Amino acid sequence: MKGFREKAGASKCFSKSTPDTPNRSLASVGSELGSSESKSSKGSLLSSLFNSAFSVFETYSESSANEKKAVHNKSNGWTAAVKRLVTAGSMRRIHERVLGPSRTGISSSTSDIWLLGVCHKIAQDEALGDAAGNNGLAEFNQDFSSRILISYRKGFDPIGDSKITSDVGWGCMLRSSQMLVAQPFDREYVEILHLFGDSETSPFSIHNLLQAGKAYGLAAGSWVGPYAMCRSWEALARCQRAETGLGCQSLPMAIYVVSGDEDGERGGAPVVCIDDASRHCSVFSKGQADWTPILLLVPLVLGLEKVNPRYIPTLRLTFTFPQSLGIVGGKPGASTYIVGVQEESAIYLDPHDVQPVINIGKDDLEADTSTYHSDVIRHIHLDSIDPSLAIGFYCRDKDDFDDFCARASKLAEESNGAPLFTVTQTHKKPVNHSDVLGETGGVPEDDSLGVMSMNDAVGNAHEDDWQLL
């Protein structure tokens, strides 16, 4: 990807190397967050905080000048507290109190670190803090910090007909998916950031994602699950393909959402069908090419409340694929972008830090892009991630796709009867390929991996916690 901070090449192995009211104080809120409540109660409190905050902001924005002045004069500190609530530091502390603190930095282990298909070998003296004569850890740090980070933003144009100008508290799944999709783009750096900006003029903004995903229930202010998120990207690509010519497409690759023989988001391992992938490429190129770059999105549910332990070894091994784009997932109610693994730890980029919106033009070489990167390495144990997730893979050409299929088939064979997904040449059962052929397809009636409003999601947390990614 052009213009990145010295990004390492793919598949390369480095050697040596209940609702709240404004009368409640934030102190009492903090006390409640730190108590031994159930996770669903904490989720309810967090949702109430977000709803109260947005209500205050929306009411305030509609007020007249005199009313605003009166608010300032009569304020008992709540307005200021709400503003502090949505700052990056406060949001980070709330998430850590509700969901548990994240760990930062790299452990003292000398085990290899795999980051999106790149192997970084860590020497023993590096793990102990002596990097003299070795650069594996430095290479990893550089690689990690070069990856595009897309996080919560505030102050962007209202989304559609709503008055929502921030995705704080509900947009982490969208942000995580933006990060995954942005990684394989091979364009000028600032152009990529423009494409994923926060306005309707940016093709892959949350504004346009929400519009494209309406058929799957996506709406501003609602959490979304991995399956609906993947389908929304597919729908967005289809809309843009219909609106532009072949040479004007902003998305440089076909998108294939891998599911089962009957669109099986429930039951059975998803199936990568080679014939379907070929048809996706043909549709993307409008019949001009037999094969094109292709992004595979694989939504999975690997358990009920926790990931079934039998899936963890194969989940970890997907990061060794040269085609790896990582995982969109995290803890219930807090999606992250998992980019790497070291032993049993998952390394991730976190979208929960709140930043003011930045409007970056396609040729704005002087733009401040520092908020699009992070050198803070966060990690969680693999068995702690939410079982509802989506894995991404990017294949540059047919040879790369064939290599991916060979690796995926081998991984399935060695999975002890618990494959994440399988590979086949063609479907064994007839399948409705309307989506593949670019027609308007229906939405599955039971899209239980779709979206939930914030209140509904929190209220059902004890039943379907895995829906809250």
- E-strand stretches of 123-227: 153-154, 222-224
The answer to whether residue 368 is catalytic is no
Between the alpha carbon of residue 448 and those of residues 67, 227, 465, 467, the distances in Å are 44, 9, 12, 8
Between the alpha carbon of residue 150 and those of residues 262, 369, 373, 447, 462, the distances in Å are 33, 11, 8, 27, 30
Distance CA 87, CA 74 (A): 23
Question: Which tokens sit at 190?
Answer: 């600032």
**Are the beta carbons of 302 and 308 closer than 8 angstroms?**
yes
**Are the beta carbons of 152 and 43 closer than 8 angstroms?**
no
Q: Given the residues 119, 172, 230, 395, select the one marked as catalytic.
A: 172
**Are the beta carbons of 142 and 113 closer than 8 angstroms?**
no
Q: Given the residues 350, 400, 435, 465, select the one marked as catalytic.
A: 350
Q: 426 CB contacts (<8 Å, ≥6 apart)? A: 273, 274, 275
Helix (H, G, I), strand (E, B) or coil at 393: strand
Distance CA 469, CA 164 (A): 21
Residue 148 is classified by DSSP as: -
Which H or E run includes 256? strand 254-257
The answer to whether residue 352 is catalytic is yes
**Are the beta carbons of 102 and 380 closer than 8 angstroms?**
yes
150 — phi, psi (to 5°)?
Answer: -120, 120
**Are the beta carbons of 367 and 420 closer than 8 angstroms?**
no
In 3D space, the residue among 36, 56, 53 whose CA is nearest the CA of residue 100 turns out to be: 36
Question: Which tokens sit at 192?
Answer: 């990529």
Strand partners of residue 224:
451
In 3D space, the residue among 215, 270, 264 whose CA is nearest the CA of residue 238 turns out to be: 215
**Are the beta carbons of 393 and 295 closer than 8 angstroms?**
yes
Q: Given the residues 352, 400, 405, 435, select the one marked as catalytic.
A: 352
Q: 319 CB contacts (<8 Å, ≥6 apart)? A: 114, 115, 116, 117, 326, 340, 341
Catalytic residues: 172, 350, 352
